[in-house]
Amino acid sequence: MKNLFKKLFVSSLIITLAFQYHPQEAKAYTATGFNAYYISVGKADCILIQQGDLYGLIDTGNTTDLAVVENFLDRKGVTTLEFIIITHLDVDHCGNVTPLAIEYNAKSIVYRELSSTAQEKLTSGGYLDRYNEILGLSAAKNTNSYAGRSLKFGDATINFYSRQASFIDDNDPKFNNVGLSTRINLDSLIFQIVYKSNKFFFLGDAGTSANDYVSNNYSAAILKSDVLKISHHGMSANNTVGIITSVGASIAINSASPDFATQATTKKRLEAANENVKIYETWNIPSYMPADSNTYTGILVMSNGTKVTTYGVYNRGATSCNKTKFN
């Protein structure tokens, strides 16, 4: 009788557990906030974003930055990237797209698709080679990342505001004397990441015409953001009054080297748009810290959905990293 009872109990337990286990309902992420890590790669851009246990990458730094980026991602425990967003074709933004896409199993590459006529104009600067490199990646997916499109990233949403038409083959007479490298910068993907009530804005290396398109076509209420990754390593020609004023960020990050510190005019525009703005440079992290001798590897802006907090990130031991809150 005892054995029969035991058998019935075990059978009942197995059936109960079987009905409680729903693998198809398992969440792909844990909603524990949104983090943006602005990796210190000198005059280049590489930003790791995290929502729960999902990771994405915005630009990949220069070819000389590969070991720095790999070390940062490894210390964060990144094994898979939901996507790599390539803002534009400058080597200091997409120099490591192939090794990082392969090594970290990137599920997709977000980039600006160019028409055949635009591709024919990529005659210098290695731009065509880099464009073809992106196309050759198995993860390459043009997500139509221009105005009105969006991507989901866990509980965050990425909204793109760049105009659809490329500046590379724009025949408007006002662009007659605009060189290819400037047009490449104008083609930068411009987007905003929204996590609950906090917003992060990214300009790539966009310049006047690209910025004006966005600020003229979208209200300040839409563009207003807590955090701004300022354009083109702080150059005033790329950080125009219209876009700076519309975004009105309280935190501005410049990914740059000491010889590309945020230009004075850019600082004045940021301060005019928000008198309380804090401007941080990825090369100068110790100056924002309490007395500390750590070697810092990036700036972390962390959102809990209602407020943002800024930290310096530094290596800890051989395999991990830590953070210290800014003053």
Looking up residue 193, the CATH number of its domain turns out to be 3.60.15.10
What is the pLDDT, as a whole number, of residue 31?
44
**23 within domain boundaries:** no
305/34 Cα distance (integer angstroms): 8
What is the pLDDT, as a whole number, of residue 138?
78
CB atoms within 10 A of CB 1: 5
143 confidence band (pLDDT: 50, 70, 90): low
Residue 289 belongs to what domain range? 31-325
**170 within domain boundaries:** yes
93 confidence band (pLDDT: 50, 70, 90): very high
C-alpha distances out from residue 122 to 56, 62, 115, 189, 210, Å: 28, 19, 11, 18, 19
**222 within domain boundaries:** yes
**14 within domain boundaries:** no
- Span 140-160, average pLDDT: 82
Please state the domain count of the chain. 1
**18 within domain boundaries:** no
**5 within domain boundaries:** no
Residue 246 has pLDDT above 60, yes or no: yes
- Give the residue from 323, 194, 308, 314 showing the smallest Cα distance to 253: 308
**6 within domain boundaries:** no
**250 within domain boundaries:** yes
